[in-house]
Amino acid sequence: MLPNVRPENMQRITTIELANAFIDEQVKEIRQQVGDKKVLLALSGGVDSSVVAALLIKAIGKQLVCVHVNHGLMRKGESEQVLEVFGKELDANLIYVDATDRFLGLLEGVSAPEQKRKIIGGEFIKVFDEEASKLKGISFLAQGTIYPDIIESDGVKAHHNVGGLPEEMQFELVEPVRLLYKDEVRVVGSALGLPDNMVYRQPFPGPGLGVRCLGAITRNRLSALREADAILREEFEKGGLAGKVWQYFIAVPDMKSVGVKDGKRYEGWPAIIRAVNTVDAMTATIEEIPYSLLHKITDRITKEVAGINRVLLDLTPKPIGTIEWE
């Protein structure tokens, strides 16, 4: 039974040397746990799953089967990047599943945040189970669970598999970074040789844009959210904030306000900017964004993204507000 509590004497991983020691230890433990069996990993392309993938590839190579599910809720260009980095550069044993219509069909008309999370998380497990049934020798399921996920899994992060795995699931879990904080996972990723733009990319929730397209998800509002988020990320990169802000994203609520375009009144959605800094995601502070950059982002989003006519800024720290809106 893997521990759920981080030992008090466990040293924080802050250097490449400490990360290498951790990697060596985990490689031995993974090989001992897995033996000659195969491991199935949900590879989202986020920091946690990417580091776990690289660690498992180092430990057991092609025994790892990575499954990337495009649930239609990814950020712009995200699935393409996963296929490029892992499929081509790292030569991973990678399976790509385009389940966009499947997920969006199940989510149609669903507005309750917890219900959306459970639908997305539950369907993910079904997809992996289906993929595993096509393969021989799959005995383990790897996850990018990190320590804050364990701490918050009791009613806070219902979308995370820590609190959502079915009892009848046939896999034994492999969770090599379960006792690490996010900053430690990044150091381990660098030590494993992953590219900086992957190791230091901002975290992305399991339900993806599903918890940022607030309320019942529609394809046109989801598309507007994806485009607005891409503009925000592009402008933060140009403005030098990409490496200074831990997480920044757009949320689009299921509500409209009156705007003016081409001399006529029309209704559009607001795009809400959220930009926070944190070390472990347990608490978060608000990053101050220059007004000149905010004006540029607002101008681009309202001109380039169909359906959005306002841009708002969320100034709420955690606590009292969670990092995600849903």
pLDDT tens figures, 105-150? 999 999 999 999 999 999 988 887 788 788 888 889 899 999 988 8
> What does each C-alpha distance from 80 to 85, 88, 144, 170 come to in angstroms?
9, 11, 20, 30
Give the HSE-up count for residue 280: Cα atoms under 13 Å, Cβ half-sphere: 13
What domain range is 159 assigned to? 16-199
Clarify whether residues 229 and 195 are in a common domain: no
Please write the tens of the pLDDT for every residue from 290-324.
999 999 999 999 999 999 999 999 999 999 999 99
Looking up residue 251, the CATH number of its domain turns out to be 3.30.300.10
Q: Do the domain assignments include residue 5?
A: no
CB atoms within 10 A of CB 98: 12
DSSP assignments along 205-272, one per residue: -TTGGGGTB-SS--HHHHHHHHHHHHHHHHHHHHTT-TTT-SEEEEEB-S--EEEEETTEEEEEEEEE
Residue ending a domain, among 137, 168, 199, is: 199
Place of tokens 């100034």: 315
pTM, 2 dp:
0.79
Residue 153's pLDDT band, with cuts at 50, 70 and 90, is low
- Does residue 105 belong to any structural domain of this protein? yes
Label residue 170 by pLDDT band (50, 70, 90).
low
